[in-house]
Structure 1
Amino acid sequence: MLEFTILSVFAALLFGGVFIYVGSFSQLIYLSQVFPDKIKSFQAINCWSSTVVPLSKFIFMFTSSSRLRKIMELSREGLTAVSENSSAHKQMLAILRKAHMVSWLVILNQCFTHFVYLILPVFFTILSNDRYLPTMPGDIYGIFSKYESPYYEIAFILTIIATLFSVINQTGYIVLFVVLLAHELGHFYAICEILNEIHGIVYNQDLISDAIKNNGQNEEKESSQMMATEHSLTEIQKPKKIQELLVFCVKHHQFIMRFHAKIGDLYKVIFGAHFLIMVIVLVTTLQTLNSWGLINTALTGLTAVMPLVVYCFGGEMLISSSLAMADAVYACGWEGMRVKQARIALLILCVAQHPLYYTAAGIFIMNRETFGDVAQVVYKIYAVFN
């Protein structure tokens, strides 16, 4: 176990050190050298900000292990709280399966973009007489004549190591966020499923009551006794079942709020940092679009914008699931319940009127409106510089 820990630390220092040297450090040196030139400065800022994003994710994952462990324990607690044979548990599993598919899409996206990022320079090098490196303006600091042998090979190997560091950290970070979001969404939809079950119980109870009221004197005595027995079960057992399910909904919603508070506190700072950095990436990507090559610029922009898309539309799904629970409470049949049960349902409805959401640095709500605002701001900045 100790050997594994030492190897892990050594690998992290090796990959992280190469990544900082090739990316952030070299680009800052290059930026200081070309600062008066607007286009070259934007290129250096674009590369520097693009490398800061995966580096910040690595720092986040490295420093948040204890808090992530507590959140994972809460996730297991929430899963065990839902009965395995219930429709709510099936709904939870369905949401988690969808998250599994989304995670694989994230992995494929990251692998594809980083692979193309590395393979295109090799392809261009084979087809032409010039040497090409991935989108790294200027020299890697201390390695001059990077397009000549043996510096090209050294620079390319260092770039591969840095790219592996980037893809591993970005993929792991985004997949973790998708999984935690899926657990939170699953709990909301599990409560919705239970509320639908309550509606079904109340609805069936009303049907039986109406059937007994409409039972005429000409019916057989045995049939009337059977209906009376069913009515008795409805009056005694079904209200208890409704009470049990409503109490579970209250307690499970309290659990969701604790779970959400842990996730919100964990991601609030990193969301704010990425919110600012990715705006810089998008602005500089547009500025260098005409001077740096469409393919490389598009890959940089795509890799940078995907986390923002996941944040904003994931936050939008969380808000929608909160509102869906409010609708399910309103339609659960509270008007046909006993007074005590109806009060519990209305209490859940009052609490559900305030949907849960993620924020960036406690300021910006992560939803699709925020994503649209970011796009507008980026375009306005682009228009000012051009």
Structure 2
Amino acid sequence: MWDKLRKFGLQYCDLPTMLWNVCFMLRALTVSVDSRNPARIPIIFYIFTTVISACYFYVYLVSMVWFVFWKCRETGDVIAAMIVFSLGISSEIGPCKLFYMFMYEKVIKNIVDGYLACDAQTLKSDRFRQNLLKGLRVVKKRGLIFWMVIIGNGTIYIMKPIVTPGRHIMEDLFIIYGLEPMFESPNYEIGFLLTAGGVICTCYLPANITALLTVLIGYTEATMLALSEELVHLWSDAQEHYNKYLLEAEADNALVTSNDDIKNQIINKYIKQKLEEIVKIHTTNINLIQQIEHVFRGAIAVEFLLLITGLISELLGGLENTYIEMPFALMQVAMDCLTGQRMMDACDKFENSVYDCKWENFNVANMRTVLLMLQNAQKTMVLSAGGMTQLSFTCLMTVIRSIYSAYTTLRSMMA
């Protein structure tokens, strides 16, 4: 048991282990995306997913709609309506992503298999492997921080009414349909358990599904950075290979000639082999990212729309009332944009490394290969929200600015 828990730590940051970490957590949602582990999902997980989904549906969909569009119209409490509306809208991100996971389950399995196959065919270079693991360690740390923030946010949200004196639920203003009066037994106990189940569903889903995307896209990022280092050192590695060839020939008492033509042939043969391996890995990652973009672009677009609407509602409800909800929404927007930006940065570094590989010393055939690589590298791999905007820091700033502009406009209208 302890050995399995240790694999969730930063000491184990290779791709197979990281995917096992995420797929292990996703099995609790009855989602299986790892063909390496075709075992049946235990019945307890089906019960768990059914219970928390039912709690979520009743509290954050049925009760939210009733409270915002019926109850608050009777009471005229706009602030309560905004707070509960923001909760309902922001909570829909996880179920939306889960829907896409079920809809494209076979495609996602193929993507995961593709990444594992790519990892198994990496360059036979100690430097490449070390740089890849170094990059994956950063990716895993990023995913762990995101996971802990989202899950921690939900835990604090559930614990807040428990540690507060008196009878409280997560949002005292929120009345769950059919449980009036809310603070009398057994309505209070039922309402608290239903809301807690809904919060678990709301937080657990996006935490683990986004973690899967972070790992897959992060692997491409780490691969591009590791390949960049290989290209920068390609010419010196080729010369080192030639010197090693000379030493081996001398050790075998073979006839060694220092003819420049033979030297160039040996060096360029080595460079050709390395370039072919790099092109293959680069092309594979391009195809994998395109598949991820195809599967999740719609989910990310819906997620952004929901998060923007939710954040505007949270601001209208007052930060003093929604300060626990804000990190949940902002962290998801920021994580998607950070993941997209880091991949774009890695692709830019790869492009610069292709031009900086001392290609002017290569023969004509290898120069042509480098030119082809440069043309492919200039088509930066990107993720988008529905094909409308690329996920990047620029996108994040645009979203924040749009949220604030919409908030100030609506606030002035409500005043």
- Settle same-fold status: TM greater than 0.5: yes
2:155 aligned with 1:115: yes
2:49 aligned with 1:12: yes
Question: What's the counterpart of residue 25 of structure 1?
Answer: 62
2:290 aligned with 1:254: no
Q: TM-score, normalised by structure 2?
A: 0.81
2:371 aligned with 1:335: no
Report how far residue 318 of structure 1 moved. 1.1
Cα distance in 2 between the residues matched to 1:333 and 1:202:
11
Contact 2:79 2:317 survives alignment (8 Å): yes
SS of 2:182's equivalent in the other structure is coil
Amino acid of the structure 2 residue aligned with 1:159:
T
Question: What's the counterpart of residue 343 of structure 2?
Answer: 318
Report how far residue 228 of structure 1 moved. 5.2
Cα distance in 1 between the residues matched to 2:237 and 2:39:
57
Cα distance in 2 between the residues matched to 1:349 and 1:136:
59
Cα distance in 1 between the residues matched to 2:300 and 2:396:
13
2:324 aligned with 1:299: yes
Cα distance in 1 between the residues matched to 2:95 and 2:337:
21
Cα distance in 1 between the residues matched to 2:130 and 2:41:
38
Amino acid of the structure 2 residue aligned with 1:268:
R
The number of residue pairs the alignment matches comes to 362
Which structure is larger by alpha-carbon Rg, 1 or 2? 1
Cα distance in 1 between the residues matched to 2:139 and 2:326:
24
Cα distance in 1 between the residues matched to 2:371 and 2:205:
45
Instruction: List aligned pairs for 1:1-386, cutoff 5 A.
Output: 4=41, 6-33=43-70, 34-35=72-73, 37-124=77-164, 126=165, 130-135=166-171, 137-201=173-237, 229=258, 234-289=263-318, 294=320, 297-386=322-411
* CA distance 1:21–1:136, shift in 2 (3 Å): farther
Amino acid of the structure 1 residue aligned with 2:82:
F
Contact 2:217 2:289 survives alignment (8 Å): no
Amino acid of the structure 2 residue aligned with 1:109:
V
Cα distance in 1 between the residues matched to 2:294 and 2:45:
27
Q: Percent identity?
A: 19
Contact 2:314 2:326 survives alignment (8 Å): yes
Contact 2:59 2:194 survives alignment (8 Å): yes
* Alpha-carbon displacement from aligned partner over 1:92-112 (angstroms, at most 9, x marks no partner): 222222222222222321232
SS of 2:318's equivalent in the other structure is coil
Cα distance in 2 between the residues matched to 1:160 and 1:230:
77
Contact 2:146 2:207 survives alignment (8 Å): yes
Report how far residue 86 of structure 1 moved. 3.4
* Alpha-carbon displacement from aligned partner over 1:284-321 (angstroms, at most 9, x marks no partner): 1111115xxx2x51221110111111111111111111
Cα distance in 2 between the residues matched to 1:267 and 1:148:
44
Cα distance in 2 between the residues matched to 1:137 and 1:54:
24
Q: For the aligned residues, what is the CA RMSD? A: 2.6
* Alpha-carbon displacement from aligned partner over 1:152-180 (angstroms, at most 9, x marks no partner): 11111112222222232122112111101
Q: TM-score, normalised by structure 1?
A: 0.86
Report how far residue 6 of structure 1 moved. 4.4
Q: Which runs of 5+ in 1 are unaligned?
A: 208-225
Amino acid of the structure 2 residue aligned with 1:24:
L
Cα distance in 2 between the residues matched to 1:338 and 1:321:
28
Contact 1:131 1:148 survives alignment (8 Å): no
Report how far residue 62 of structure 1 moved. 2.9
Contact 1:358 1:366 survives alignment (8 Å): yes
SS of 2:80's equivalent in the other structure is helix
Cα distance in 1 between the residues matched to 2:208 and 2:240:
47
Cα distance in 2 between the residues matched to 1:299 and 1:230:
72
Report how far residue 31 of structure 1 moved. 1.1
Cα distance in 1 between the residues matched to 2:172 and 2:144:
28
* CA distance 1:49–1:137, shift in 2 (3 Å): farther
* CA distance 1:39–1:87, shift in 2 (3 Å): same
Cα distance in 2 between the residues matched to 1:375 and 1:283:
10
Contact 1:99 1:179 survives alignment (8 Å): yes
Cα distance in 1 between the residues matched to 2:316 and 2:196:
26
